[in-house]
Amino acid sequence: MIISVKVTTKASKNEVIQRKSKLFHVLTTAVPERGKANKAVINLLSEYLKIPKSSITIKSGQGKINKILEIED
């Protein structure tokens, strides 16, 4: 499954908001340097979707606010 994610870094709290079935907004307290925010996004989505972190891959948008992620079944 492919999902779209908008990321807000340096937020006041960690939160996942599902906008539509495959559109998410992830707020993270992590800073966008050396992949810290990307790791936080994967961790938060893993907890929210109740799936292993290894099932989530960032397909595009590594250094961008908008990302495309692949979720393996």
What string of pLDDT tens digits covers the 73 residues of the chain? 999 999 999 999 999 999 998 999 999 999 999 999 999 999 999 999 999 999 999 999 999 999 999 999 7
**CA atoms within a 13 Å half-sphere pointing along the CA-CB vector of 47:** 10
- For the chain, the structural domain boundaries read 2-71
Rounded to whole angstroms, the Cα distance separating 57 from 69 reads 6
CATH class of the domain whose range is 2-71 = alpha beta
Distance separating the N- and C-terminal Cα atoms of the chain = 8
Full-model pTM? 0.92
